[in-house]
DNA sequence: GATGACATGTAATCAGTTACATGATTAG
DNA sequence: CTAATCATGTAACTGATTACATGTCATC
């Protein structure tokens, strides 16, 4: 018998609001599930089969005209209970890996101008994401502000978006700080040269 | 011939400052490499062999009295150049996965009191880490402030610690916000009950 | 006598990515 | 005719974790 994975719970947590097909789930997890879990269809399809084997979801085939058939997955009572149990279990801080922070660790050995280019390009990516998140956030606050209370399914989007925004803002600040550090070093060098 | 992995660069970036044994490297990466890359010894030993095959490190065996022998790995010129090239190559935003953020996404379906417990416990973990990082940061600022300029090897510690602090502060804020949201919902519920 | 630090490795397994594979319909 | 969206799957591979394996010395 297969056991539960975090991905399994991610799928259940999406199915908890509405029945979805594997394709729908993959769409929602392309852009990480409300910004903090993602998976591809090649991982999702087998995982759905596992969830079904465990009795946490069921599916029905929907025949469509002029579209391929699809499998509509629905969470079961057992799946719902399993998810609810997992949700409130103590959660450790997961291992974090960031390629750009690793690069920052060794950046001292490079040309500061190249470092500035690196962090400026990276900064742009984070600003882009941040702006997207802020647009989404403004949208749900404007249109759904009444249902953003803790017990509403939309609260999930709200809470994770808020995390995404804080996360990206922190990255933006840090990238700017890195650029400043490299720039400060460069001007310092210039002054030293002129004095000699 | 094996190819380079990010772990390989992580090891090279540690060896760039000083020669180290596999055991030393594992110690430094237990607590993630200055907080944003980690690996275990079972991954590090084979990776060192790969780096040696590629000519990016060499080792010498050091016999010790009353201690097991150890292999002291040193970065080569080729390793150093390879690392330097990689460092300034454009870097994408890696996929992020956070179990607690995923839980926040589905937390609406649970008892708010259990949610408060969950986030309070998690908050404590982040506060602990944050305080550790802040102690480390204060330490290097006090003792090594003169060598914290961009081109010094210590700048790596400084920059990654700064990221770690920002990252943990953001988590602390967000956990507190989550607790507030659950609490606000509870008080709202109470008021509604009293009025009926 | 047991635990923990030092020290190095391998094997089994799992999670996740990339690539392979198929097939219909719609828009440019 | 080409690319994109809808729709579902499998296979090969890589990256990472857990467990297995061995051995010394110091401390409780």
Say yes or no: Cβ of B94 under 7 A from any atom of strand C: no
Residue A143 has what pLDDT?
85
Angle at B97 between CA A148 and CA A120, to 5 degrees: 95
Decide if B177 and A185 are in contact by the 8 Å CB cutoff. no
Q: Which CATH number fits domain A6-87: 3.30.380.10, 1.10.10.10, 2.102.10.10, 1.20.140.10?
A: 1.10.10.10
**pLDDT attached to residue A31:** 78
**Structural domain spans, chain B:** 6-87, 99-195
Establish whether the CB of A5 is closer than 7 Å to any nucleic acid atom in strand C. yes
% of residues, chain A, pLDDT over 90: 83
Of chain A, the percentage scoring pLDDT greater than 70 comes to 97
Whether residues A108 and B150 touch (CB distance < 8 A) is answered with yes
Burial class (CB in 10 A: 0-12, 13-18, 19+), A87: buried
Q: What is the pLDDT of residue B104?
A: 98
* Separation in Å, CA of A183 to nearest CA in chain B: 9
Task: Please compute, for residue B107, the number of CA atoms within 13 A of its CA located in the half-sphere on the CB side.
Answer: 32
Predicted pLDDT at A34: 63
Residue-wise pLDDT tens digits, B47-98: 999 999 999 999 999 887 767 789 999 999 999 999 999 999 999 998 889 9
pLDDT at residue A191 is higher than 90: no
Question: H helices within chain A, ranges in order?
Answer: 6-15, 22-30, 41-53, 77-87, 99-106, 112-144, 154-195
Higher pLDDT, A35 or A147: A147
Rounded Cα gap, residues B195 and B187, in angstroms: 13
C-beta pairs of B134-143 under 8 Å, 24+ apart in sequence: B134/B165, B136/B161, B137/B161, B137/B162, B137/B165
CA B180, A135, A87: angle at the middle one, nearest 5? 40
Give the position of tokens 């259940």: A12
**CA torsion A62→A43→B100→A77, rounded to 10°?**
40
Of A53, A2, A93, give the one whose Cα is nearest residue B170. A93
Subunit contact B6:A99, Cβ cutoff 8 A:
yes
Number of CB pairs, chain A paired with chain B, less than 8 A apart: 238
CA A128 to chain CA mean position, Å:
14
Q: Which helix (H) or strand (E) holds B73?
A: strand B70-75
CA angle B63, B67, B68 (to 5 degrees): 65
In 3D, which of A175, A123, A109 has the Cα closest to residue B87?
A109
Tell me which chain B residue has its CA closest to the CA of residue A92. B122
Q: How distant, in Å, are the alpha carbons of A18, A37, A127 from that of A41?
A: 19, 13, 28
């Amino acid at each position: 018998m297969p056991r539960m994975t975090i991905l399994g719970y991610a799928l259940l947590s999406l199915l908890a609001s509405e029945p979805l097909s594997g394709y729908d789930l993959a769409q929602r997890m392309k852009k990480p599930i409300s910004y903090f879990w993602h998976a591809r269809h090649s991982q999702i399809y087998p995982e759905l089969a596992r969830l079904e084997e465990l009795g946490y979801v069921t599916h029905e085939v929907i025949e469509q005209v002029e579209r391929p058939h699809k499998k509509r997955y629905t969470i079961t009572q057992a799946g719902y209970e399993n998810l609810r149990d997992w949700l409130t279990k103590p959660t450790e801080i997961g291992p974090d890996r960031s390629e750009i922070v690793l690069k920052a660790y060794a950046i001292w050995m490079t040309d500061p101008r190249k470092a500035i280019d690196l962090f400026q390009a990276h900064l742009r990516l984070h600003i882009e994401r941040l702006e997207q998140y802020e647009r989404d956030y403004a949208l749900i606050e404007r249109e759904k502000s009444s249902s953003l209370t803790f017990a509403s399914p939309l609260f999930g989007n709200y809470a994770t978006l808020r995390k995404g925004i804080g996360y990206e803002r922190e990255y933006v600040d840090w990238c700017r700080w890195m650029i400043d550090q490299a720039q400060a070093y460069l001007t310092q060098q210039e002054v030293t040269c002129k004095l000699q």
